[in-house]
Amino acid sequence: MIRPLQLLVLLCSFSGFAQQAKHLGTDPALISSAELLSQYVQIPSESGQEADAGQFFMEQCRNRGLHISPLGQDDGQFNFMASLFPLEEKKPNVVLMNHIDVVPDNEGNTHGQYSGEIEDGYLYGRGAIDNKGVAVMHLVALSRIKANENYQDSPFNISMLTVSCEEAQCPGGMQHVLSNFVEEINAAVVIGEGPSDLSTLMDGEFPNSIYGISRAHKRAYWMELEIEIDGFGHGSVTPDSYANKEMVAALQSLTKKKQKAVFNDINTEFLKGMAQYRKGIQRLVLKHPRLFKPILVPQLRKTPELFSIFSNTMTLTNINSSSQTINTNSVVAKAGLDCRLLPETDEKEFEAEIKKRLKNEKIKLKVIKSTPRNRPSSNSNIFYKNLKSAILEQYPGAETIDVLMPNINDMGYFRALNVPAYGSIPIQLTKSEVESIHGIDERIPLSELESGTNVFYIFLKKMIYSSTD
């Protein structure tokens, strides 16, 4: 079976170069993919501070002859599209989506947060993979289309959509873009971040690489629980009923029951896909997951990350009260629930289940974040077929497998608009390289920077020479 950390990820040499990179020119003919990424990584871009990095990357796109369309660049936000054709031509748009922001630094790095240093075939720094590395793959692939292909008769426009922050975590990112520019974008398909080669991250021996293509993900449904009970304030007297006592009892009732396993088309197809790499009874069980559900579910529960793609998860993330002193009874108690729902789940039915399990009508529920409901993207259209074909051309003998991601991401906002969206970072990463994402010494092998670029280039070639029929 798959280890927890591995599924969590599933569900994604020249010393001294860093000093030189800061002084390189901006002529695209002089800047390699590695040099471009090194410069991009060196520019700080934590959430709310993306403007400098965004300006640099936008100018790199402009220097390569792409048509630039600003999509909000005020008040800390920085969003734009770089396109093969002007958006005004209103061609159906193949959109490569990436984001500028990176997570804060961690202690323990041997290379600086914004190092950009190249050492022993790796490029180090925040965003080297997530998501500046992917952005460079997109840009270089699109640049090669413009430089090397006869694209004038393409039925599709090809655009990069670069946004300030992912997962709509800031009002100036994708929320702003889709609220104001959805018609201008005219997306026919969106390609965003997703899993890499899964075979390097899973137990067992695999004869070939297995590249995941995400075509569905869970959605956020975050709730705040609150109870208010007036009563005697001094902690020396214990009332029969007070806020903290009733909240704790309700939360115990809520969390003691295990979440139900839900088998849908995508998560069962994932199990069936893994069956071919197992033998004996394991192979039989994985090949027929619904038939052997009573056997599978206890095994799935042993790995929470794996079980998360088979269930609506509910995590109690915080508890607090109005009292700040140990000798005062709280009048108000609150708790936060991070719930992630499978695509087919009705949120109102889920909320009703929460209320029922709390067993306390005095507790009020408030939804503080709800991402749009959406359906899985098709695996039979030209976009999916061309992406899959591009991966297999770059990696002969490899295989692909559809996955449902347990996290939320911006592709869901397009899926909610009935725009097909697929996630893939088509590169090979070791377990330690994957763990560096949002961790210590984030880094990307330079060889994989090129391999990923090739996949996107092949995909885009297929799109510009295809038909819209």
DSSP 25-71: ---GGG--HHHHHHHHHTS--BTT--HHHHHHHHHHHHHTTPEEEE-
Average pLDDT for 404-424: 90
pLDDT, one tens digit per residue, over 235-270 is: 787 888 899 999 999 999 999 989 999 999 999 998
> Which of these ranges, 57-61, 134-138, 169-173, 348-352, has the smallest mean pLDDT?
169-173
> Which of these ranges, 20-24, 146-150, 229-233, has the smallest mean pLDDT?
20-24
Q: Are 329 and 323 in contact (CB under 8 A)?
A: yes
The two structure tokens encoding residue 86: 């002007």
Average pLDDT for 430-444: 89
DSSP sequence for 237-290:
S--SS-HHHHHHHHHHHHHSSPPPP---HHHHHHHHHHHTT--HHHHHHHHSTT
The two structure tokens encoding residue 84: 């093969």
- Which class would CATH give 4-215+374-464? alpha beta
Mapped onto helix, strand or coil, the DSSP state of residue 342 is: coil
Average pLDDT for 68-85: 90
The answer regarding whether domain 218-370 maps to CATH 3.30.70.360 reads yes
Residue ranges of the domains in the chain? 4-215+374-464, 218-370
Q: Are 192 and 421 in contact (CB under 8 A)?
A: yes
- 443-445 sheet: strands from edge to edge: 118-119, 122-124, 443-445
Q: Are 172 and 96 in contact (CB under 8 A)?
A: no
Mean pLDDT score of the chain = 88
Q: Are 68 and 164 in contact (CB under 8 A)?
A: no
Percent of the chain clearing pLDDT 70 (strictly above): 91
Amino acid at position 63, single letter: N
State residue 172's pLDDT score.
76
pLDDT, one tens digit per residue, over 188-202 is: 999 999 999 988 777
State residue 460's pLDDT score.
98
Backbone angles phi, psi at 187, to 5 degrees: -70, 125
Distance CA 430, CA 445 (A): 10
Is pLDDT above 70 for 170? no
State residue 462's pLDDT score.
98
State residue 42's pLDDT score.
96
Distance CA 1, CA 314 (A): 23
Q: Per-residue confidence at 21, pLDDT binned at 50, 70, 90? A: very low
State residue 468's pLDDT score.
65
State residue 330's pLDDT score.
85
Nearest to 174 by CA among 131, 206, 136, 207: 131
Is pLDDT above 90 for 14? no
DSSP sequence for 198-219:
STTTSSS--SS-EEEEEEEE-E
